[in-house]
Amino acid sequence: MNNQEIAGVLREIGEYLEMDDVPFKPRAYEKAAEVVSGMEEEVSEIYKKGGIRAIEEIPEVGISIAEKIEELIKTGKLKYYEQLKKKTPVDFPSFVGLEGLGPKSIKKLYKKLGIKNIKDLEKAAESGKIRKLEGFGKKSEEKILAGLKFVNRSKGRFLLGEALPLSETVKERLSSLAEVKKIIIAGSIRRRRDTVGDMDILVTSDNPKPIMDRFISLPEVARVLARGETKSSVKFKGGIDADLRIVKDSSYGAALNYFTGSKSHNVALRRIAMKEGWKLNEYGLFDKKGKQIAGKNEEELYKAFGMDYIEPELRENTGEIEAARAGKLPKLIRYGDLQGDLQVQTEWTDGTASIEEMAVRAAKLGLKYIAITDHTKRLAMAKGLDEKRLHDQGKEIGRVNSLLKKKGVKLTVLKGAECDVLKDGSLDLKNEALAKLDVVGVAIHSYFNLPAAEQTKRLKKAMSSPHADIVFHPTGRLINKRAPYEIDMDEIIAHAKKTKTALEADALPERLDLSDEHVRKCVEAGVRLSIDSDAHALAHLEFLPYGIAQARRGWAKKKDIVNAWPLEKMLNLLK
C-alpha cells in the first residue's frame, strides 16, 4: 500500500467520524492523512525498517492511528474502516472537489434519498429533490449544482490558453520569494500541448518551507490536496490542479527533464541509460559507481547521452530521440519568426476593432504585414461581406496604408477574405471579387455533419479554386466543445500539395487547428502552412505563439511557414 492509498483511508475514516459527530478524532485523522500524503518516503518502507515504533514517530500519528496503518500495510485492509463503510456505504472520494458539502450533509442525503456518490447527487439535484429536503432548500440545491459543474469541468483537460497564463501568474508570485533560486513550469505546459491535465511547477531552493507555505496560500488556490516538505498539490479556483516540487540546484536539469516529460520520452531516455549501465532519475544521471555524470542542466544531460538538445515541444517519443542522436533534429521555427498574420477580422464583420486599430497593434507586436480577412455574405449573422462591401473595404485598406506610411509605421495591410465554402464546395464570392484580393482564405462554417467522403470532396473543390490561397482552421474543431468534422486529412494534404494551397495552423487557443500531428504530416508532405491568430479583437493578435507552439510540436521549420517570409516572397508563395 502506498502513501496516497493509506492517506485516502485515513481521510475517509475522519469523514465517517465527523458524520457521526464524534469529537476531536476527525481532525486527528485528517491531519495524519495530510502528513502521510505529503511524505517523500513510503510509510511501508519505514514500517519495514522500524516497525510500528517508527510509524508512531511520524508527526500527527499517535498509537491508535499507527496500529491502523500497520494493519493496512500488513493485510491491505482495515476492519475498523470496513465497519464504518458498511454502516454508511457512501463513496467519499467521489465527492472530492465539491465545495460546501460536509460529511454530515452527505449522511443526511444518504439517509433521506439514498445518495451514495456524486452521480446520485447530480441526478437528485437535477430533478429538484434536494430543495424539498429539510435543512437544504432551493439555495443549497443551486449551490450543489454550481459545485457539480465545477467538478465536471475539473475532470477534463484544460486549454493551454487557460493554463499557460495562470502558470505565468503563479510563477511570478513565487519568484518574488528570496528562497526561490530557479522556477520553471514543466509538464505538458512546457511542451505546449494543446490541452493540459495539470500544472507542474519546479523550483530549486535550499529552504523549501517558506515556498510551500506561500504556494498553498496563493489567492488562486481553492483547496490544498496534499502538503509535504518538497512536494505539494493544490486545486486552483478555475478547476485546474497544480503540483509543486522543490529540489536542490544540483538536480535542476535532471528534475526539469523528468517533470517536463513526456512520460514516454522519459522512459525511452531511461532505457538508453540502463543499456549503458547508468541510472537516470529526477536527481541526476549517475554512472555504475553512483557518481553523477550530468543533471545540472538539460543541455549537459542530452550531451551525456550523445544527443543534440531536444526542444520541449518535441519530447513525445515520436522520433526525436533517434534524430537527436543522429544530429538530424529540425531547426524549428522560433517564437519571434513570424513576419505577418494572414487571418484578422475587424468590426466590418464580427470583430471588435477597426482595420486601423488592428494594424497599429500588429505593428507594435513586431509584425510587418496583416491580411484583413472578414467573413463573407453567407455568414449573415456575422454581417458577412458581399462583393460591394468588400470593394468598399478595399478602399478603406488603401486609406489605412497611406496613413500608416505617413505615421512611419512599417506595416502593410493586405486585402483578404475568409471566404465561406458553400455546401457544394463552391465559394461564396464571385471570382472577379476574389481576384482583386491579396490573400483568400477559404473556410467551412456550415454542414459540419456531412459524411467524410462528401466533406472531403467539398473542401477539395474549394481548394481547387485558383483564388483559394489558404484553408483556414481546416478541421473546424473547437477543443472541448465541438469535434472536428469528418474529413480525410491525408487526401486534403495531398490535394494541398497538388493545388499549392497552404493549410492554416490557427492559433486561437480553442481551435489550434491544424493540430500538431496534422502539422507534422504537412511538413513531411512539403505542404505550406500559415500560422494565423484568427483575431477578432486587439488582444487576440497575441495568440500567435500558441500557433507557433503547435507548429513546433509538428516539427515545422521556418521555411515551411509562408508568413515567416518577407511580404514579397510570401505573396509569391501563394497562388
Task: By CB under 6 A, name the binding residues for ligand DGT.
Answer: 187-188, 193, 196-198, 200, 258-259, 261-263, 266-267
Q: What are phi and psi of 418, to 5 degrees?
A: -100, 85
Cβ atoms within 10 Å of 317's Cβ, excluding its own? 17
Burial level of 31, CB count in 10 A (0-12/13-18/19+)?
middle
**Planar angle of CA 62, 59, 8, nearest 5 degrees:** 80
C-alpha grid cell for residue 129?
429533490
The listed partner (ligand DGT, Ca ion, Zn ion, none) that binds 117, CB under 5 to 8 Å by sort, is none
Site map 433..462 versus Zn ion, x via CB under 5 A: ----------x-------------------
Stretch in the footprint of Ca ion (CB under 5 A) among 100-108, 195-203, 390-398, 425-433:
195-203
Of 167 and 188, CB closest to ligand DGT? 188
CB of residue 245 to ligand DGT, shortest distance in Å: 9
Cα separation, 180 vs 246, whole angstroms: 9
The listed partner (Ca ion, ligand DGT, Zn ion, none) that binds 266, CB under 5 to 8 Å by sort, is ligand DGT
CB of residue 282 to Ca ion, shortest distance in Å: 13
Burial level of 3, CB count in 10 A (0-12/13-18/19+)?
buried
| Among 8, 147, 187, 228, interactor with Ca ion by CB under 5 A | 187
Is residue 556 within 8 A of residue 529, CB to CB? The reply is yes
CB of residue 198 to ligand DGT, shortest distance in Å: 5
Of 255 and 496, CB closest to Ca ion? 255
CB of residue 202 to ligand DGT, shortest distance in Å: 10
Q: What are phi and psi of 234, to 5 degrees?
A: -135, 165
The listed partner (ligand DGT, Zn ion, Ca ion, none) that binds 3, CB under 5 to 8 Å by sort, is none
Of 18 and 506, CB closest to Zn ion? 506
Half-sphere exposure of 196 (CA within 13 A, CB side): 29
CB of residue 328 to ligand DGT, shortest distance in Å: 24
Q: What is the helix (H) or strand (E) element at residue 285, kind and residue range?
A: strand 284-286
Q: Which residues neighbour 509 within 8 Å (Cβ) at sequence distance 6 or greater?
A: 159, 160, 161, 162, 479, 543, 546
Of 59 and 156, CB closest to Ca ion? 156
Size of the site for Ca ion (CB under 5 A): 5
The listed partner (ligand DGT, Zn ion, Ca ion, none) that binds 259, CB under 5 to 8 Å by sort, is ligand DGT
Smallest CA-to-CA distance from 420 within 369, 368, 476, 364 is with 476
Half-sphere exposure of 123 (CA within 13 A, CB side): 9
Cα separation, 467 vs 463, whole angstroms: 8
Is residue 136 within 8 A of residue 130, CB to CB? The reply is yes
The listed partner (Ca ion, ligand DGT, Zn ion, none) that binds 313, CB under 5 to 8 Å by sort, is none
The label of the residue with cell 478541421 reads 475
Which residue's Cβ lies closest to ligand DGT? 261
CB of residue 271 to ligand DGT, shortest distance in Å: 10
Of 107 and 190, CB closest to ligand DGT? 190
Amino acid at 398: G
Stretch in the footprint of Ca ion (CB under 5 A) among 141-149, 187-195, 363-371, 468-476:
187-195
Q: Give, as ranges, the residues between 236 and 255 that touch Ca ion (CB under 5 A).
A: 243
Which residue's Cβ lies closest to Zn ion? 443
- DSSP code string of 166-224: HHHHHHHHHHTSTT-SEEEE-HHHHTT-SEES-EEEEEE-S-HHHHHHHHHT-TTEEEE
CB of residue 424 to ligand DGT, shortest distance in Å: 41
Residue 43 in contact with Zn ion, rule: CB under 5 A:
no
Is residue 117 within 8 A of residue 90, CB to CB? The reply is yes
Is residue 399 within 8 A of residue 442, CB to CB? The reply is no
Biggest CA–CA distance in the chain, Å, is: 88
The listed partner (ligand DGT, Zn ion, Ca ion, none) that binds 507, CB under 5 to 8 Å by sort, is none
The listed partner (ligand DGT, Zn ion, Ca ion, none) that binds 258, CB under 5 to 8 Å by sort, is ligand DGT
**The dihedral sign for the CA sequence 248, 254, 260, 262:** negative
The listed partner (Ca ion, Zn ion, ligand DGT, none) that binds 262, CB under 5 to 8 Å by sort, is ligand DGT
Amino acid at 77: K
| Among 18, 198, 513, 534, interactor with Ca ion by CB under 5 A | 198
The listed partner (Zn ion, Ca ion, ligand DGT, none) that binds 443, CB under 5 to 8 Å by sort, is Zn ion
The listed partner (Zn ion, Ca ion, ligand DGT, none) that binds 295, CB under 5 to 8 Å by sort, is none
Of 68 and 191, CB closest to Ca ion? 191
The conformation of residue 242, written as its DSSP 8-state character, comes to E
Of 316 and 504, CB closest to ligand DGT? 316
Is residue 18 within 8 A of residue 81, CB to CB? The reply is no
Of 188 and 343, CB closest to ligand DGT? 188
Residue 200 in contact with Ca ion, rule: CB under 5 A:
yes
The listed partner (Ca ion, Zn ion, ligand DGT, none) that binds 250, CB under 5 to 8 Å by sort, is none
Of 20 and 282, CB closest to ligand DGT? 282
Q: Which residues bind Ca ion (CB under 5 A)?
A: 187-188, 198, 200, 243
Residues making contact with Zn ion (CB under 5 A): 443
